[in-house]
Structure formats: structure tokens, C-alpha cells
A and B are shown apart, each in its own frame.
Chain A
Amino acid sequence: MGWLTSALFLGWSLGANDAANIFGTAVASRMVRFRTAAIITTIFVILGGVIVGPLGVERIGKLGAIDSISGAFTAALAAALTVMWMTRLNLPVSTTQAIVGSALSWSYFAGKSVAWAKLIPIVIAWVASPLLCAVASIVLYYLIAFILKHVKTHMLVLDAYLRYGLIAVGSYGAWALGGNNMGNVVGVFNGSGIFNDTVILGIPFSEARLLSVLGALGISVGVITYSYGVMITVGGDLVKLDSMTAFIAIASEALVLDIFGYLGIPVSSSQALVGAVLGVGLIRGGNTIKLKVLGRIVLGWIATPVIAAVVCLVALYVVKNVFEQEVVKEYGIAPKVSLQTSR
């Protein structure tokens, strides 16, 4: 079980950072108390994680097909360290891109071929998710504008609807975050044999679902212990948008995360949110779209997996040769690096 600490660390870091993408506005504007937001997020992250999460866990599990528990530990640790290091350097980073880099790195180390069928949809989803969020936010914007044009609206009642709406989309966002991110947090452990399929209270729990329970708990701990400060910072930026834009952006982000969650493809919630904000910005005037922001996202797509892969490769070498752990059970057609290390 100790091997799972790296996944818990990754989950903690994800909860600490990404909860701001769904409840940042409400908490930073003091509309919802942090405690309430944390409780709602925890409940829905666990529900989403346990119910939808296993789909993503299985996909990431198959992407790397890591067959050893110490290998999975190393891959998750490398991803977590990459996320932490890049965050500290204020570089754009996403857990999903880091874990994919780590998983591919393990495959390379183990001399196994890349599961292109699993990888291609993930990479397409990275690009598609902010674009889809932008489209979703534009559609939602026009839909709400149409409704407002055709109904009598009371400024304060509209305010209340927005307030309840932000709590509702926040809850949905937490569900989607849990459902979408389990693959990122514990996916590499799937198939490593850490858990056996079991039945608890008459409910069957596969290895992927048991891992998802653990991942959801990790994310929840991150939300409760560390997300407040991030919410105030990220939420403070979002509050500069008006409440309606924030509502539309979070609703679109949650919708897209949820859809990809059901497809079992983990995507970045931060990049999805940026896409949604840019979508609304496009309608309200193109000047809100900053090329720098788009550039940072593209940089994140490339830099994060590459850095994570390098960190993972080094970590695998160290864990194997210094700590003498079996990071790969069954080597494939070994490339140069893995030949040297497996000697």
C-alpha cells in the first residue's frame, strides 16, 4: 500500500490546484464559505471519481500497461514532481499531460511499444477540450441571452439564480473533476496487481474502482487542506470577469470534463476553463483573447509530457539501480536505455 503514496500525492496536488477552477469564483467573492465549497467538492469528487473515474483509470492503465507496482509508483511520483516543479516555476502544467509523459516514458524504459490507439484519442482530447469548452460557452452564452431577452428579469433575483447556479455548476464541476481525473491520479497503477477485484456490501469493486476510491480521497484531502489559497488567487482573477461569464465558463468546463470523463479520456480542467473564458471573450470582443495565454496552453501540451518523461526516465533508472526495485516485470523489445538498465 505504501507504493500508492505517490498517487495520493498526485491526487492531493490535483485537489489543491484544480478545485479553484470550479469553486474559485464563489469562494473568492465570499458568496460561498470555503468550508461549504470544500464539503460539496469532496462529496461530488468522490461520487464522480468512484462512478465515472474507473473508465479513465482503465485507459491510462492500458496506455502505459505498467506491470510492476514500483514502476507505477515511480511514474506517478515523476508526474507529481513535474507538476510541483513546473507549478513552482509558474509554468503551464497539467496533471494529465504529466502522467501521460510518465506512462510513455515507462513504456520506453520497458522496451514496450506505445499504445497508439489509447494515446491518440488522449492527445486529440487535449486540443479538443479547450476548443469544445469555447464552443460550449458560446452556445450557453447565446442560450442565456435568448432567455433573458424573453423573460422579465429582476436584478436581485437574477443575482440569486446566478448564486444558486454557481453552486450547482460547482457541484457538477466537482463530479466531473472526480470522474475525469482518476485516470491521471491512479491510472498507472491499474493492472499492477495492487488490488484484487472484490465485492463490498454486495457491490462489485474492480481494481480500477478501488484505485478510484483512493484517488478520490487523495483529491479530497488536497481540496480540504490546500485549495483555499489557490481559490482566492484563481477565483480573484475570475471574479474580474462578471458573475455571468464565470457561471458560463464553469458550466462549460464541467460539461466538457464530464463528457471526456465518460469517454474515459482525462483532460486538463485548467485548460478547459481557459477555453471557456476565451469563448465568452470571443463574443464580447476579441481583445480579451491573449495570444500569450493560447501560447502557454500549447507549450503545456508539449513541454509537460516531455519534462515528465525525462523525470520519469531518470527516476526509473534510480529506483531500479539505486533502490534495486523491480520497475518492470516483463521487458519488451528493449531500446538502448532499457537494455543498459536491465543488465
Chain B
Amino acid sequence: MNSDQRLSRMFEKKKNQSFFFKKQYEIEEKIHHFLRCMEDMGLLYQEAFFSYFSQQADQFQDQVKELGAIEKKMDELGRQIQISLFAQSLMPDSREDILWLLNSLDQIPSLFKHSLRDIQIEKPVVPETLHDLFRQMLTKTGLTISKLVQATDALFADLRSVRLLTEEVSRHESEVDKVELRLLQAVFDQEDLELVRKYQIKRLIQYIGSISNTAEDVSDAILIFAIKRAM
């Protein structure tokens, strides 16, 4: 049984046990699938970078393809969630908050996709001396995304734990920022790299940086949603 099936079975049980909240759990199930896809994308994104650095071109291409397929699945899930939000009579502010959350979360897969597409097209040459810092930045970005997913999950499990998780998102994001700065300095310190190559790598770094920045923005909004409901 894969994780998707396990998740579906868990929600089926939850829905069967609940008489009043079936529709709510239906929406929550779709959001959970959406978030699992995002987690998978985050991991795949790191792996694709690592494949590129180790010059495993075929593996990189497969990972980019797989990432595209997950994004498609997320688009479909996003559409289904939107339909459910309008079909089920939710309170207007809940509907607006979830729609905003979905649209904002949806920016992250796009950033994943576009930065890998740039690599696919431009094939930038990244000196080996930078690989380690890249790895650090990617790992910390992955952690930011993972905490963001947990914070979003907490909206549907325990609103009280949202604050702690969003603080974690901010902490990881500021670590990403620090590595980003070190990486940019390292890029421009490379004496044997042409200026145009430096700018090409800079753009790539900024793409990765924008992922955690977006994650932090979404996480700030999630915290507001939770505070609003905790009064």
C-alpha cells in the first residue's frame, strides 16, 4: 500500500466515523494530498540538483519530468479543492483564507519547476567548489518547505501548534538567507569564472532563495489565520 492509499484509507475511516463533518474531512483529504505532493516535489527538487551536479543527465531529466507530473497532479487537486470550497457552504472568511492559501502554496511548485527548467535550458556550469554550499542551501530550503507543510497541516489538526511551526519556518528561512549570502559571495570570488556565468549562477541562487521567501510569506499568513480563529 503506498502513502496515497494509506492517506485515503485514513480519511475514509475519519469520514465514516464522523456524522457531521464528512464534507470538511473531504476538503481536508484533498488538501493533505496537495501537501504531500508538495513535500514530494521539495525532495525531488533537491535530488534533481544533486543529479545535475554529479552530471547524471538522464536521471536529472527523469526527475524534471516527474516533477512536472506532480505539478500537474497538484493543479488538478487545487481545482478539486476550489470546487469543493464553493460546493460546500463554508463561511466566507474560511473559504477566502483557504483559497488564498492554495494560490500562495501553488507559487512554490512553479518556482521549483522554473528553476529546474532554467538549468535544463541554460545548462549552467557550477564550479565544484560551490556544490557544498548549494547542497546546504537546498537542504535548508527543503526543511523550510517541510515545516511549511507541517504548519499548513496544523491548521487542520491543532491550531494551537501553528505558531511554533511557523516560527520554525522563519528560522529555516533566515538560515537559507545566510547560506545564500555566503554562496553569492563565493560565486563572485571565483576568479576563473566569466562575469556572465557568475550572473547566471546568481540567478539560480536567487531562484532557490525565493522558494524559502515565498514559504515564509505563506507561513506568516497561516499564522494570521490561526490567530484569527484562536481569537
Contacts and interface: CB of A to CB of B under 8 A. Distances in A.
B94 interface: yes
B175 interface: no
Interface stretch (A145-153, A193-201, A308-316): A145-153
Given A156-B27, A159-B24, A160-B20, A243 B231 contact: no
B128 interface: no
A14 B68 CA distance: 60
Nearest to A163: B91
Contacts of A149: 160, 230
Interface-central residue, A30, A141, A153, A155, by most chain B CB under 10 Å: A155
Contacts of B226: 155
Interface in B1-57: 20-21, 23-25, 27-28
Given A153-B160, A159-B24, A29 B229 contact: no
Contacts of A164: 20
Interface residues of A, number: 25
A31 B158 contact: no
Interface string A125-142: 000000000000000010
Nearest to A155: B155
A155 B159 CA distance: 7
B77 to A, nearest CB: 16
B229 A148 contact: yes
B225 A155 contact: yes
Contacts of A343: none
B90 interface: yes
Interface in B148-166: 155-160
A244 B91 CA distance: 10
A269 to B, nearest CB: 23
User: Which interface residue of B92, B98, B156, B231 has the most chain A CB atoms within 10 A?
Assistant: B231
B93 interface: yes
A153 B92 contact: no
A159 B225 contact: no
A145 B90 contact: no
Contact of B91 (A31, A148, A152, A153): A31
Contacts of B25: 156
A32 B90 CA distance: 10
Name the prevailing secondary structure of the B interface residues: helix
Interface string A143-174: 01100110011111111101110000000000
Band of interface residues on B: 20 to 34
A154 B158 CA distance: 6
Nearest to A31: B89
Contacts of A155: 94, 97-98, 155-156, 159, 225-226, 229
Interface string B108-148: 00000000000000000000000000000000000000000
Nearest to A243: B91
B20 A153 contact: no
A21 B49 CA distance: 59
Contacts of A159: 24, 90-91, 94
Interface string A237-254: 001001110000000000
Nearest to B101: A155
B91 A154 contact: no
Contact of A30 (B21, B89, B155, B157): B89
A147 to B, nearest CB: 10
A164 B19 CA distance: 13
Nearest to B91: A243
A153 B158 contact: yes
Contacts of B21: 156-157, 160
Nearest to A158: B229
B229 A156 contact: no
B229 A153 contact: yes
Contacts of A141: 231
Nearest to A241: B93
8 contacts: A30-B89, A145-B230, A153-B158, A155-B98, A155-B156, A156-B25, A158-B159, A160-B23
The list of the 10 closest CB pairs from A to B, nearest first, reads A156-B24, A145-B231, A243-B91, A159-B94, A152-B158, A153-B159, A29-B92, A155-B155, A31-B89, A159-B91
Given A149-B160, A243-B92, 8 more contacts: A148-B230, A152-B157, A153-B160, A153-B229, A154-B157, A155-B159, A155-B226, A156-B28
